[in-house]
Amino acid sequence: MDLTSEERALARMVADGKSNRAIAVALGVSLRTVENRLQVIFAKLDIESRDALEAIALEESKSS
């Protein structure tokens, strides 16, 4: 994945099944910030869903 360390952390949270709201609370940011960051990640990875991000993040964690 060609993501920043912050984006990777967010992707791992998605892979762990955390909701956007739970991620926002954990990171101390607004829900809208999480939504925006997810859209940036989706664009970078050329995907359109949390499910696709989860699959990529899980595959990445297996290979590292």
DSSP collapsed to 3 states, 23-51: HHHHHCCCHHHHHHHHHHHHHHHCCCCHH
Separation between Cα atoms, residue 37 and residue 59, nearest integer Å: 20
Tokens of 9: 């952390």
Separation between Cα atoms, residue 56 and residue 40, nearest integer Å:
15
Instruction: Spell out the domain ranges in the chain.
Output: 5-63
- Run means of pLDDT, 10 residues per run, the chain, 64 residues: 90 95 97 98 96 90 78
Q: What is the pTM of this model?
A: 0.88
CA dist 40 and 44 (Å) reads 6
Which CATH number is associated with domain 5-63? Answer: 1.10.10.10
Q: Can you give the pLDDT at residue 60?
A: 83
